[in-house]
Amino acid sequence: MSPRRRDSEVTAAARAERRAELLATAAEVFATRGYASTTVREVADAAGMLGGSLYYHFDSKESMVDEILSAFLTDMWDAYERVLAAGHGPRRTVEELVAESFRMIDRHRPAVVIYQNEARYLEATGPRFAYLTESRRRFREMWLSVLDRGVLEGVFRAGLDTALAYRFIRDTVWVAAGWYRAGGRLGAAEIARQYVAMVLEGILADRGETGRSG
């Protein structure tokens, strides 16, 4: 490898690392202050750089939040697809999906907060954020499919309102991003385990009901 090419690759790696650091800072600022009310200058201040220097890495505040949310959702759906492809029964699938959700909160907590607080606003700004709407639709369909299958197979109790159960699971899990902190008393895996135990006690079939195990 020529010295020029080696220097070029080192420079590119350094720039990519700096870009990742800036995105992490921007995510924290957007999550704390709100995307709409945060200026590029405030993000630059938090990163310890001049406002104009931030434009060397990103052409707009919109580009930053787009990249933050895209990375989070890509990671989340990759994890969910692995769970669905494993072919587990409904109960195990619910357990794994909840566990992966908490792993996403652990890895992408600021992005999760931004998604919860800002998705509707961003969708209304134009087609750039249409993938947020699609992700929400896909998320709902995934959960309803798993829950409906659990009822059909007798794993979850008969008469379960799966649409209501979906909303309950969605809201109780993802709201944890507001208080969860990495390195806290309970890790993401343990919180997920306890959440699953509480959720399933309410939707599993009674012991006297007939059904296949999940």
Phi then psi dihedrals of residue 156, to 5 deg: -100, 155
Rounded CA separation 20/209 (Å): 52
Rounded CA separation 89/48 (Å): 50
| Tokens linked to 156 | 């979850």
Q: What is the CATH number of domain 1-59?
A: 1.10.10.60
> 67-81, 102-116, 121-135, 198-212: lowest mean pLDDT where?
198-212
Phi then psi dihedrals of residue 184, to 5 deg: -75, -175
Query: Do the domains 60-214 and 1-59 match in fold?
Result: no
Rounded CA separation 213/74 (Å): 32
pLDDT at 200 over 90: no
Note whether 196 and 94 are within 8 A (CB). yes
| Tokens linked to 201 | 């006690």
Note whether 172 and 123 are within 8 A (CB). no
Above pLDDT 90, what percent of the chain?
68
pLDDT at 184 over 90: no
CA 47, 70, 48: angle at the middle one, nearest 5?
0
Instruction: Tell whether domain 60-214 is in CATH 1.10.357.10.
Output: yes
Stretch 28-53: mean pLDDT: 90
> How would residue 148 be classed by pLDDT, with cut points 50, 70 and 90?
very high
Q: Which residues contact 212 (CB under 8 A, 6 or more apart)?
A: 89, 153, 154, 155
Residue 18's identity, in one-letter code, is R
Which position has the token pair 């979906």?
166
pLDDT of residue 2: 55
Stretch 103-114: mean pLDDT: 96
> How would residue 52 be classed by pLDDT, with cut points 50, 70 and 90?
confident
pLDDT of residue 16: 79
The domain ranges of the chain are 1-59, 60-214
> How would residue 9 be classed by pLDDT, with cut points 50, 70 and 90?
very low
pLDDT of residue 82: 98
pLDDT tens sequence across 26-35: 999 999 999 9
Above pLDDT 70, what percent of the chain?
89
End-to-end CA distance of the chain: 56
pLDDT at 77 over 50: yes
